[in-house]
Structure 1
Amino acid sequence: MNRYSLTFQSRRYNPEAIAQYFRYRPWRVLWRAIKIIWLFAGFVLGLKWDDWLNQEWKNREKRATQLREILTRLGPTFIKVGQALSTRPDLVRKDFLEELIKLQDQLPPFDNAIAFNIIETELERSIEEIYSEISPEPLAAASLGQVYRARLHTGEEVAVKVQRPNLLPTITLDLYLMRWMAAWLSPWLPLNLGHNLTLIVDEFGYKLFEEIDYLNEGRNAEKFATNFRDDPSVKVPAIYWRYTNMRVLTLEWINGFKLNDTERIKAAGLETDTLIEIGVTAGLRQLLEYGFFHADPHPGNLFAMPDGRMAYIDFGMMDQMEENTKETLVSAVVHLINKDYIELAKDFVKLGFLTPETDIVPIIPALESVLGDVIGESVQDFNFKTITDKFSELMYDYPFRIPAKFALIIRSLVTQEGLALSLNPNFKIVEVAYPYIARRLLTGESPEMRRRLIEVLFKDGKFQWQRLENMIAIARSDDNFDLLPTAQLGLQFLLSEEGQFLRRQVLIALTEDDRLHTEEVRRLWNLVKDDLKPSRLFNVALGALTELSTDGVAALLPSFATLAAFQERE
């Protein structure tokens, strides 16, 4: 092992240590920089030449192919950058986008002899000792490694992922150059773009270093599997730790179809809309429930299985959201639904899209202008691509910036939506996402969710009957949603000490403006009466009451009296 490997054998990204290392090795930096500049200079001159000769349209496919080939020649780091750009139609023109998508799983493999030598060196056993059979050629080649199909001596069919040779030195040097370039460019860019350019490179570096540690990927897969252990629609391959190391990963083989292979999916008799619902719901659960999400959900990493399940593979690029970030995200959704742009602007400050010292007053009208039609009558047209496009407009006029962590979240959301649209071009993400959020708010399984529900139901101190009706109607649009457990949880919350405020507000809402709001109650009853059959309703109420104190029951008696009077009138 040479001194370079020893320097970075921890495989943890440390920009200061990397900078110190290359400060005393300028020849390596210079040679790599010359190669990068030479390739991109030729590409830029080609674009300019097309412009001068009015041949942009004629040569657009040629230039797109040229860009993909340049990124491929420059190696893993630049391929990963290209993959990230391939999910950003708001930043990259369509012809380039179509070529960059090929970087996801159409890359040249490296020599089999080298791959098998890496397996034997890392696992300290011969190929024959480890596997009873292995494919003579890789079945897939990606930016960081390639995959073989094999069988263990115990009979299990497995995928064997082998890392590309000389990977760590290459990406370390490239990240050093990218960071240097980001620091140099930042002062020349608008504040909102240049402010955190170095932080974005660092975030990319941290994730890339995590991705080349296959032990870390195995741990990520098991954590992801634990989160979805009760979800029969999501499949995560098992890890075979005995045959896994930092550069070799052996995992369960997944039989299925890539999500963008619509012909084979339909030929297998699978419902594309069901797959979309599984994918979108799983994505929302990752973000809003667990905070641990798959940051690279491109078509090569998601498979539709013959039994209707969706399988996730490749857990190298994952990220974790803090609890307060999850709560603030839900708050932002609530404030967007409520069209409360003052609070929404404050959420953007908390999330890091605006700095704490930013004057939000002039930004509020801009938010209302840009986002005002996203929620409301046009809610069925809502999509994440629309949001990113709208914000790209705002970023040039106001000091918005994309926090490094949110670059991955946005990439994940936009990519999943793109996959859904490839299965069904008429798909509207709100058809799945909004019922999911409504169910989570109505269920109120945590104090945070209950607080967000109260924020939705009350505005300026007044109960919003229409919002509750809309939320119940939207939640019930999911055939699997059962209102009874939600009603039981709601009743328990109302009777609890924590529900004292809501209890008081509901009583006020029933009698505000000096009238009994029987019409609003009637509409709600008509909406839910098919689900709340008397026998089931009695059992739910009894179950809730048995867990509560006498004082708690007494506190709700006025509400029961009101409801009873209403039902007598029916």
Structure 2
Amino acid sequence: MANRPTAEFRRYDAAQIARFFRFQPWRPAWRAIKILVVFLSFILGLQIDSVMGRETGSQQARAEQIRKILTDLGPTFIKVGQALSTRPDLIPPDFLGELIKLQDQLPPFSNATAFAIIERDTDRAIDEIFAEISPNPIAAASLGQVYQAKLYSGEEVAVKVQRPNLKPVMMLDLYLMRWFAKQLGWLLPLNLGHDLTLIVDEFGIKLFEETDYENEGRNAERFEANFKDDPNVKVPKIYWDYCSRQVLVLEWIHGVKLTDTEAVKARGLDQDAIIQIGVTAGLRQLLEHGLFHADPHPGNLFALEADPASRTGISGRMAYIDFGMMDQLEEPMKETLVDAVVHLINKDYEELAQDFVNLGFLTKDTDIRPIIPALESVFDEVMGQSVGDFNFKVVTDKFSELMFDYPFRVPAKFALIIRSVVTQEGLALSLNPDFKIVEIAYPYVARRLLSGDSENLRRRLLEVLFKGGKFQWHRLENMIKIAQADGDFDVLPTAQLGMQFLMSEDGAYLRRLIVLSLTEDNRLHTEEVARLWALVKNDVKPDKIAGAAWNALLQFSTASAAGLIPAAISTLTRNQPGG
């Protein structure tokens, strides 16, 4: 084991890494000393600036210093810097500008080394593979660098080559981080509810996966398959004939960084529309597909012109170019996330507390009764008078306070989810300081519930619309208003799905509830119906109504139709006084 090359560690295994360094204790010791020295020198410099009264004048120099420190320490620390570079609400502007450079402006390694890796892994000479290749890398990131090339078949491609000798430094850093988490994690002002090493292990697993470019290529193809019906999301094609664990050849994306506002405007792209595409795509990953991009920093996201073949009316698309750090949510967790959003919309804090139990933020034996008022206080405060006042960063801050008083914990998998959502919100805030993530998230969720055709989504919609057996007219109005804020929402297909469900056998219980609701309190609820009609009348055209009704009837049998009439009469009769 002592002489085992680190290259053989293809997957993260904390126990194997610990055994490896048990025979070489001087290596983690020297690495720990180096890390402590550079950070202590930085902190000392900040203290001297404060004592000398020169904080403002030296801030740029200190920002450059921390960028260089993170760069010198290698990929693990660069990843930390990249995450911080997406938080303009946390990081001062001078420091933010320097940290952004960590996304793709890192020092490259030699071209000779890069080309040697390509030739070794493909067993072909460079000029046998590429008709053209840039003499120097176009970009250099934490794990590799990228060249622009052209295949003999004419396609323009990006050639991603991994940095040599990544594993030894990564293993050292992860070993030290895990040791710190295990031995000293209790000193941190956190209440995670479980061993901090679980979060370090989750990070280690994902970091090791990022060093496998074949895995990244497979992730890209899975991601592309999930968005094949969305012309607003672009995923580059993978050219497998030239790929290996350390070399990835993929379609070249002719786009501009989302953060390059001038270039976005010069191309005539709608920056707010691009933001909406990105946030909606993120929601679809979490709530529909389960496979989500866990590292959506600006270096991985590009804006480009709309696909000429599409007719979305949106002047632009968003392209993802890096699929190394991905994760998968299982179906029960996706459904619980939708539940949590529904219960948040409804302000059903008792159900929301139970969602936190189901998601693993609270243990199953937790008494949630004292937590319910705390959740109510937090969400009532952060949501303000409207959903547009909601800010995910504010929620995470408030939850940090709650974790001191209540037994909340952060499940290891959710560390990546939270990082992904916070990163997307931070990116959007850097483009538009007035951006509110829920102004996009709520219309998406409302539209998904209203137009969903699965049993689970119908059940969640019923939870929204009925409470205590009574129809919540105001909730339906609010959901339609929210859904209409999304320009893609069309009320008629939603109505058609509703009609089909109502006419089916499964819709019998709902038919009874609706009839009862219309005649509730011994009166016809014409005012509520009139308000709903006022909301949708502009979207309803006679020809469209006819088409929707016809399509619904095609899905409905004559026998089922005959059964509706006596069922409705029976319900109405039972609802009359003395009935």
Asked if these proteins are the same fold (TM beyond 0.5), I'd say yes
Moved more, 153-162 or 192-201: 192-201
Shift of 1:83: 1.6
Question: Residue 565 of structure 1 corresponds to which residue in structure 2?
Answer: none
Question: Residue 515 of structure 1 corresponds to which residue in structure 2?
Answer: 523
Does 1:487 pair with 2:486? Answer: no
Length, aligned pairs only:
561
Moved more, 90-99 or 157-166: 90-99
* Contact kept? 2:2, 2:20, Cα under 8 Å: no
* Contact kept? 1:187, 1:194, Cα under 8 Å: no
- Which of 444, 447, 453 does residue 436 from structure 1 map onto? 444
How far, CA to CA, are the matches of 1:52 and 1:142 in structure 2? 36
AA at the equivalent of 2:215: N
Shift of 1:375: 4.2
SS in 1 for 2:153: coil
Does 1:532 pair with 2:531? Answer: no
AA at the equivalent of 2:483: A
Moved more, 490-499 or 334-343: 490-499
* Contact kept? 1:160, 1:250, Cα under 8 Å: yes
How far, CA to CA, are the matches of 1:146 and 1:465 in structure 2? 56
Shift of 1:239: 0.5
* Contact kept? 2:104, 2:299, Cα under 8 Å: yes
How far, CA to CA, are the matches of 2:70 and 2:233 in structure 1? 34
Question: Residue 222 of structure 1 corresponds to which residue in structure 2?
Answer: 221
Moved more, 260-269 or 96-105: 96-105
* Contact kept? 1:160, 1:248, Cα under 8 Å: yes
Shift of 1:415: 2.0
Cα RMSD, aligned residues only: 2.3
Does 1:458 pair with 2:457? Answer: no
SS in 1 for 2:479: helix
AA at the equivalent of 2:258: L
* Contact kept? 2:145, 2:161, Cα under 8 Å: yes
How far, CA to CA, are the matches of 2:139 and 2:295 in structure 1? 17
CA offsets per residue over residues 9-51 of structure 1, 9 Å max, x none? 2511111111111111112222222222221222233334344
* Contact kept? 2:88, 2:430, Cα under 8 Å: no
How far, CA to CA, are the matches of 2:227 and 2:384 in structure 1? 33
CA 1:161 to 1:5, structure 2 compared with 1: closer, same or farther past 3 Å?
A: farther
How far, CA to CA, are the matches of 2:105 and 2:404 in structure 1? 35
SS in 2 for 1:524: helix
* Contact kept? 1:507, 1:559, Cα under 8 Å: no
* Contact kept? 1:495, 1:555, Cα under 8 Å: no
Shift of 1:453: 0.6
Alignment of structure 1 residues 120-139 onto 2, 5 Å: 120-139=119-138
Alignment of structure 1 residues 19-418 onto 2, 5 Å: 19-88=18-87, 95-190=94-189, 192-193=191-192, 195-307=194-306, 308-375=316-383, 377-418=385-426
- Which of 420, 426, 434 does residue 428 from structure 2 map onto? 420
Moved more, 238-247 or 490-499: 490-499
AA at the equivalent of 1:158: V
AA at the equivalent of 1:16: A
AA at the equivalent of 2:230: D
How far, CA to CA, are the matches of 1:77 and 1:304 in structure 2? 28
How far, CA to CA, are the matches of 1:373 and 1:558 in structure 2? 49
Moved more, 25-34 or 247-256: 25-34
AA at the equivalent of 1:200: I
CA offsets per residue over residues 122-154 of structure 1, 9 Å max, x none? 111111111111111111000000000111122
CA 1:54 to 1:345, structure 2 compared with 1: closer, same or farther past 3 Å?
A: farther
- Which of 445, 455, 460 does residue 447 from structure 1 map onto? 455
How far, CA to CA, are the matches of 1:438 and 1:427 in structure 2? 19
* Contact kept? 2:133, 2:148, Cα under 8 Å: yes
SS in 2 for 1:314: coil
CA offsets per residue over residues 202-231 of structure 1, 9 Å max, x none? 010000011010000000111111111111
AA at the equivalent of 1:168: K
How far, CA to CA, are the matches of 2:397 and 2:564 in structure 1? 48
How far, CA to CA, are the matches of 2:348 and 2:400 in structure 1? 21
Shift of 1:8: 4.9
How far, CA to CA, are the matches of 1:560 and 1:262 in structure 2? 58
SS in 2 for 1:231: coil
Moved more, 371-380 or 232-241: 371-380
AA at the equivalent of 1:505: L
Shift of 1:301: 0.9
SS in 2 for 1:158: strand
CA 1:472 to 1:3, structure 2 compared with 1: closer, same or farther past 3 Å?
A: same
CA 1:402 to 1:86, structure 2 compared with 1: closer, same or farther past 3 Å?
A: farther
How far, CA to CA, are the matches of 2:86 and 2:404 in structure 1? 21
How far, CA to CA, are the matches of 1:525 and 1:366 in structure 2? 38
Shift of 1:537: 2.6
Question: Residue 576 of structure 2 corresponds to which residue in structure 1?
Answer: none
How far, CA to CA, are the matches of 2:135 and 2:567 in structure 1? 73
AA at the equivalent of 1:483: V
Moved more, 304-313 or 372-381: 372-381
AA at the equivalent of 2:318: M
Does 1:468 pair with 2:467? Answer: no
CA offsets per residue over residues 447-487 of structure 1, 9 Å max, x none? 11111111111123221001101111222233332211111
How far, CA to CA, are the matches of 2:562 and 2:384 in structure 1? 39
* Contact kept? 1:256, 1:303, Cα under 8 Å: yes
How far, CA to CA, are the matches of 2:36 and 2:20 in structure 1? 22
* Contact kept? 1:5, 1:169, Cα under 8 Å: no
Shift of 1:7: 5.7
* Contact kept? 1:545, 1:553, Cα under 8 Å: no
AA at the equivalent of 1:263: E
* Contact kept? 2:267, 2:305, Cα under 8 Å: yes
How far, CA to CA, are the matches of 1:413 and 1:187 in structure 2? 27
AA at the equivalent of 1:352: G
CA offsets per residue over residues 29-78 of structure 1, 9 Å max, x none? 22222222221222233334344445444443333332221111111111
* Contact kept? 2:301, 2:320, Cα under 8 Å: yes
How far, CA to CA, are the matches of 1:558 and 1:272 in structure 2? 55
Moved more, 444-453 or 191-200: 191-200
AA at the equivalent of 1:528: V
SS in 2 for 1:499: helix
* Contact kept? 1:76, 1:143, Cα under 8 Å: yes
Moved more, 225-234 or 473-482: 473-482
Identity among equivalent positions (%) equals 68
How far, CA to CA, are the matches of 2:567 and 2:8 in structure 1? 67
* Contact kept? 1:510, 1:516, Cα under 8 Å: yes
